[in-house]
A = this chain, B = another copy of it.
Amino acid sequence: MAGRGGDGGGQPPQEGAAPAAAGKRERIAIRRIDNLAARQVTFSKRRRGLFKKAEELSILCDADVGLVVFSATGKLFNFANTRYTTTTCYS
């Protein structure tokens, strides 16, 4: 995924770094976040957003969606809309 369009040359700062100006969000590079605390915060926030979007897609578009996420520490999070349910996970 190198060379994603729109990255204007420089290296964007890592997520978790102090913002340049108050109230402004900066574009971050999509690579593993080095700082453990920042990585966990980002995981928690993005995971919630992802599950919300997955649920919205299934409702809005009448689609069947199954989503399984394992955190770096091995904790499982999953979502499925009603027709299928997760019965067995990776052993």
Interface of A toward B, CB cutoff 8 Å: 1, 15, 28, 30-33, 39-40, 42-43, 46-47, 49-50, 53-57, 59-72, 84, 90
The one of B43, B55, B57, B71 that contacts A69, using a Cβ cutoff of 8 Å? B57
Query: For A54, what are the chain B residues with a Cβ–Cβ distance below 8 Å?
Result: 50, 67
Please give the count of copies of this chain that the complex contains. 2
Closest B residue to A15 by CB, please name it. Answer: B60
Interface centre among A1, A15, A43, A50 (most CB of B within 10 A): A50
Closest B residue to A68 by CB, please name it. Answer: B66
State A57–B55 Cα separation when bound (angstroms).
Answer: 17
CB of A64, distance to nearest CB on chain B (Å): 4
